[in-house]
Amino acid sequence: MASTTIADYQVLSDGSFTLDTVQGGSPNEATLNFEVPSDFAFESGVRKPILSFNILPFEDSSFRVFLNHREVASFTFDKSHTRGHQEAFSVTTAFPNGSSFSNPVPLRIFLSSGKIRLSDVVVWYQIKRDP
């Protein structure tokens, strides 16, 4: 019998943090921890994981996101107001078939230019459930 999947999520950061390459007072990268559940659906397909966060770009800013030491997304934001953002990414990019990983898996945010405040960082994903 085939298994089905359902959506689940993890809040990686419920507060806010600032990354800065402009003034040097804040770090330009942050690492959060993603605990891969035992029933995580590693299959690729239309049900991709989603990275969700709020962002306040103080300056025009660019940053990249790495999960399991592999780049899963890159962003450029113009100086603006706080807003929410969601980005779907490929699970097979972060977890290639047969790759090993330690748990929890690091989710690293690396700011290459500008200054941003991020908050409410959440990863949505699929878990397997037998009918």
pLDDT tens figures, 109-125: 999 999 999 999 999 99
* Full-model pTM: 0.90
Domains held by the chain: number? 1
| DSSP H helices in the chain | 91-94
Distance CA 8, CA 80 (A): 31
The model's pLDDT over 40-79, given as tens digits with 9 standing for 90+, comes to: 988 767 789 999 999 999 999 999 999 999 999 999 999 9
pLDDT exceeds cutoff 70 at 2: no
Whether pLDDT at 4 is above 90: no
CATH number of the domain bearing residue 91: 2.60.120
Q: What is the predicted pLDDT for the residue at 44?
A: 66
Where in the sequence is the domain holding 114, given as residue range(s)?
4-129
Dump pLDDT digits (tens) for 10-36: 999 999 999 999 777 678 999 999 999
Strand residue runs (E) in the chain? 4-20, 29-34, 50-57, 61-67, 70-77, 83-88, 105-113, 115-129
Among 58, 38, 18, 16, residue whose Cα is nearest residue 128: 38
Neighbouring-strand partners of residue 74:
64
